[in-house]
Amino acid sequence: MKRLHSEAFLDIKAEKLMIPLERVAHVQSKNNLEHALLVLTKSGYSAIPVLDYHDKLHGLISTPLIMEAILGIERIEFEKLQSILVEEVMNKEIPRVTTNSSLNQYLKLLVDHPFLCIENEAGFFEGIVTRRVVLDLLAKQ
Ligand code: AMP
């Protein structure tokens, strides 16, 4: 992207900076925790989006949330991984940004969140914008 004035920079739409769904590691709400842990571990990401079969966003799942769910009094109960569903454990309180939101509308959210989930006007998940992408672009300005 070419150099921008600060106003133009803040006007950049989420869809321009987005990593599209096809390249976002994610799980389905009805997957079990064993599958989610596998995807998280293999991808190397600390948290990933949770979608349904229609690509609607339901929340985020992370390794700490999974470990918390299987933590017993004296041991980690790994056998529980297969019987607990992602939807029982995921974080549903997540900020949602639409594809046509401009950076000045979602920049503040990136202070507390390493990435933001992007939905289209119909509420379908389209991708994520990461703090890294925004900082990288800023560094180039
Ligand atoms: P990064 O800024 O690239 O380090 O990414 C920050 C966070 O965004 C990661 O820890 C993941 O939770 C999430 N993330 C980044 N890229 C992806 C991706 N392709 N698929 C799923 N999650 C991602």
Instruction: Note whether 115 and 129 are within 8 A (CB).
Output: yes
DSSP state of 44: T
pLDDT tens digits along 42-66:
999 999 999 999 999 999 999 999 9
Among 19, 24, 109, 115, the mutation site with the greatest number of ligand 1 atoms within 8 A of its Cβ is 115
Ligand 1 centroid vs 74 CA: distance in angstroms? 33
The residue behind tokens 């920079």 is: 9
Comparing CA positions, the residue from 70, 66, 126, 73 lying closest to residue 90 is 66
CA distance 75 to 89: 19
Tokens of 37: 């842990």
pLDDT tens digits along 65-119:
999 999 999 999 999 999 999 999 999 999 999 999 999 999 999 999 999 999 9
Predicted structure pTM score: 0.93
- The radius of gyration of the chain's CA atoms, rounded to the nearest angstrom, is 17
Among 61, 128, 131, the mutation site with the greatest number of ligand 1 atoms within 8 A of its Cβ is 128
CA distance 121 to 61: 24
Ligand 1 centroid vs 92 CA: distance in angstroms? 18
Closest residue by Cα to atom 19, ligand 1, is: 24
